[in-house]
Amino acid sequence: MGINESAFSFLFSEFISYEKRRVSSSAELEQKMDQAGFEVGFKILESLYPRVKPGRRPTKLMDVLQFISSPCWNHLFGRTIDSLEKGTDNDNEYILTDYQPLCSKFISVPKELGEFSCCSFVGGIIRGIMSGAGFPCSVTAYDMKDEEKEGYALYLIRLESS
C-alpha cells in the first residue's frame, strides 16, 4: 500500500519549512519533528494494530517491534523495514535500518541546520507506537551515508529502565 511519494515529499518539506521558521536550532527542529511523529505513531497503534491482530493489544516487546518493522512499515511506506537487530552494547537497545528512507529521499538539508536528521519524524512515529504499547523509550534517528548505499536511516531504540 504505502503513501504517494511525491505527495508525502511535498507535504513533508513544507512541514519542515514551517517548523524551521519557528525554532532557533536544528536540535529544536528535530524535537518538533519527533513530537509530531510521536502523535502519528500513537494514532497508528490505535488504528492499525486492531486490524492486524484483532482483539489483542500488544504486550510483548518483540510483538511491537515486529509490528513496526513489518505491517506498520508496509502500511506507511509500501515495504517492510530492511533490518531489525538487537543492540550489541546494551540489552535495552534495538536498531531498525531503512535503506530507502522516504523522509530524506527528496530533501536536502541546508548547511545551517548541520547534522539535522529529517528522519527524526519517523523516529517519533516509532517512539509513539512503542510508548502507546507500554514500552517507553527514546528513539534517535541517524541519516547515514555509505559508499555502497546512496543513503540510509538507522533508528536506535533505547528502552527506558523499568
The burial of 23, by beta-carbon neighbours within 10 Å (0-12 exposed, 13-18 middle, 19 or more buried), is given as middle
pTM over 0.85: yes
Cell triple for residue 107?
530533501
Give pLDDT, residue 147.
Answer: 64
Determine the Cα angle at 79 with ends 74 and 84, to 5°: 90
Positions in the chain short of pLDDT 70: 1-3, 104-114, 147-149, 162
For residue 113, what pLDDT is reported? 63
Structural domains of the chain in order of their starting residue, each with its CATH number: 5-159 (3.30.1380.20)
**pLDDT, position 155:** 96
Q: Tell me what pLDDT residue 43 has.
A: 94
Q: Strands 93-98 and 152-159: what pairing?
A: antiparallel
